Amino acid sequence: MTLLRSALLLLSTAVLVACSPVTSPANGNPPPHGNSDLSPAPVGGDDFAVSAGGDLATVSTCMVTCQSLGASCGIQGDGCGGQLNCGSCAAPQTCGGGGKLNTCGNPTSGGPGGPCVPKSCAQLGFNCGPAGDGCGNKLDCWPTGTTSCPNPGDICGGGGMPGVCGGGTGSSGGCVGPLCPAACPAGQTTTIEGYVYAPTPPAFGTPDPLPHALVYIPTKALDALPAGASCTQCTPASGAPVASTTSDNTGHFVLTATPAGAANTIPLVVQLGKWRREVKLSVAITACTNNKLTNIDDTRLPRKQGDGIVSDIPKIAVVTGAYDSIECTLQKMGIDTTEFTNATSSGRVNLFDNPTNGGGSYVDATTPDQETLLTSPSQLRAYDMVILDCVGTDLNEATATDYQNVADYINKSGGRVFASHYSYTYLQSQFSTVATWLGDPNPSVSKTNVTSTIAQASTAGTSGYDLATWLNYVDQAAYAFGTFIANQVKDNLGAVNSALVRSWITYPYSSTKTNTMEVTFDAPVGSPAAMQCGRVVYADFHVNSQNSQNSGTFSSFCATADPGVMTNQEKVLEYMLFDLSSCINPPPPPPPPTCTGTTCAALGYSCGPAGDGCGHLLDCGPCQKPGDTCGGGGTPFQCGQTHTCTPTTCAALGYECGPAGDGCGGVLDCGKCMAPQTCGGGGSQPGHCGGIG
């Protein structure tokens, strides 16, 4: 018996053929992938199999692997009568629970991601418009109770961010960084409220609020302003503003959708023409509420160079005269005394003396004569503004060439000129179409305490209404609305051409004659507004009530000629001088925000409703396969089924022997082989008996 048993063992060993790796069975089960990652466990019983031990110790090559089976969980058969442990699933997932055999999944979903979890507006990054939740349902992402964006001019997606309000005034427009508008609940926003002020120091009274000034919060460094006269009209604010507005007729402003932050962290710019100042706000700005600024230094224009992070003052030339010293009013408006210098120094206000009638104020003995300025077109162009004091006569030392140079400065260079009384002589020949200039021997009799009328004061939207509103606000006790009481009124401005000039103030010179006291006209005269960049203000009255002043150095001269706080009449001149330096025409409004909607294909969505990012709803279609729902496989906006694992069978696997996995974490027993055959032996397929027959 011993010899016979040995013989049979040798015979069976001789015909033993290794089991090949699993191939794709005819019933369509998944093909094998990859190499071995787990060794098979020894199998006992009646099967005649080669184990890892014994007299004929050999390594079976019939083994298949979890990876080759594409299994990530459960007990699997190796096709040679052994079994593989391909791992377990973390609860609540089970093997095959997502509908895919031998793969972990949630028993209530069609995929490993679990059941469809609806997306929220916040998760989608939407704060406006409709959207889809990824599970076939519609979302409303508009602020509660609204169907529009909360900030002025914003539209859904208008700032370039789909589903985000943007593109309008005060909008973040997709802004990123610490100076972006503070995030607030729906219906709330962060605002900053205050007044823009003239730079008037306390010695000259309370500073007046200024209308029509640009106020904004920059996010970058400001660009330098162009030097000298230039035909620039109005240009957009530099510094990439995150919020901007303009002060109203009383100087009041409200910035909307601003950033928030601690004191000395939020920058603010106030600008009027080439007057510009940037500071860091001295107070903290609280998010999602209105913040009122009360520190005048936070919102005033600059007094001198270096007065702020940025401090720009127009470059001004003053031809001084013995009568009506406008340079003294500039000082009261707030330009620091240190800025009044000769042209060879760096001050922003340079004095040039006209010696007629004894001359006007000067810096020192080296202050140049007016001819130094007026005979040089390039010297004139170096200034943003030229002020011509009254010298007490229309017979001054200016030449015809001087007059032409002044006209060219206005017409060709975009220069700004303020002319007082007898300085009409600089305008008479070159600007004869705007008005009738009444020169001497016309009796220029001064009138005092003249009750005048502000033109168009009762018509909202006009410059006269703006002036009347402002004057009533700053001097309510001094004037009735729409009126102005003036001293030193003259009679050298005759009839004006209303088509070319803006009349500010009129007064009854006599019972039969109404005169215009002050006018503004833009140049070149008669050109389309878009081509005009020069400006002239002419005042047919003296600001100072004295009819004559003595010549002297600037600082002591003004202390004698124009002492004390700013007078009511000087306030009107202040308004005109700031208006003179402002831009000629308002900038064109920014183009309305636009939004280009996305598509289902671009989003990669295959089902359900979705938002196009511009406030409209997309229909990405229904699911086509029976049993599929949108998001049913656990992936939002993708079709899938919700089902549990259905175990496979030995027959479906094509196995007739050995253990196998049912795909749902269970083990199948596919039978035993009759000795001397073995499972997978004799060159048969894995899971099939073969060998000695």
d(CA 679, CA 630): 45
d(CA 686, CA 171): 69
Maximum average pLDDT range among 45-54, 78-87, 103-112, 363-372: 363-372
Number of domains in the chain: 3
pLDDT for the residue 410: 95
| In-domain check, residue 178 | yes
Residue 589's pLDDT band (cuts 50, 70, 90)? low
| In-domain check, residue 596 | no
**pLDDT digits 0-9 by tens, 625-648:** 877 888 877 788 888 876 567 788
Residue 313's pLDDT band (cuts 50, 70, 90)? very high
CA 304 to chain centre: 31
Do the beta carbons of residue 326 and residue 573 sit within 8 Å? Answer: yes
Over 50: is that where the pLDDT of 624 sits? yes
Do the beta carbons of residue 84 and residue 66 sit within 8 Å? Answer: yes
Helix (H) or strand (E) holding 310: strand 310-312
Share of the chain above pLDDT 90, in %: 36
| In-domain check, residue 625 | no
pLDDT for the residue 197: 97
Helix (H) or strand (E) holding 11: helix 2-14
| In-domain check, residue 636 | no
Does residue 365 share a domain with residue 277?
no
pLDDT for the residue 548: 55
Does residue 429 share a domain with residue 440?
yes
Does residue 393 share a domain with residue 521?
yes
Over 90: is that where the pLDDT of 89 sits? no
| In-domain check, residue 609 | no
Maximum average pLDDT range among 78-92, 248-262, 464-478: 248-262
**pLDDT digits 0-9 by tens, 20-31:** 444 333 333 433
Identify the domain containing residue 85 by its residue range.
Answer: 1-115+642-693
Give yes or no for a cis peptide into 676 (omega within 30° of 0): yes
Does residue 329 share a domain with residue 244?
no
CATH number of the domain that 189 lies in?
2.60.40.10
pLDDT for the residue 500: 92
> Which of 534, 564, 581 is the last residue before a domain boundary?
581
pLDDT for the residue 270: 97
Does residue 515 share a domain with residue 389?
yes
| In-domain check, residue 36 | yes
Share of the chain above pLDDT 70, in %: 82
Does residue 530 share a domain with residue 449?
yes
Does residue 225 share a domain with residue 85?
no
Does residue 261 share a domain with residue 309?
yes
pLDDT for the residue 108: 54
| In-domain check, residue 127 | no
Mean pLDDT along residues 192-205: 95
pLDDT for the residue 293: 97
Give the closest residue to 242 by CA, choosing from 309, 190, 308: 190
Does residue 338 share a domain with residue 214?
no
| In-domain check, residue 565 | yes
pTM assigned to the model: 0.65
> Which of 535, 558, 581 is the last residue before a domain boundary?
581
> Which of 313, 329, 352 is the last residue before a domain boundary?
313
Over 70: is that where the pLDDT of 3 sits? no
Does residue 524 share a domain with residue 403?
yes
Does residue 325 share a domain with residue 283?
no
CA 443 to chain centre: 59
Does residue 661 share a domain with residue 537?
no
Q: When comparing pLDDT for 374 and 475, which is higher?
A: 374
Over 70: is that where the pLDDT of 60 sits? no
CATH number of the domain that 507 lies in?
3.40.50
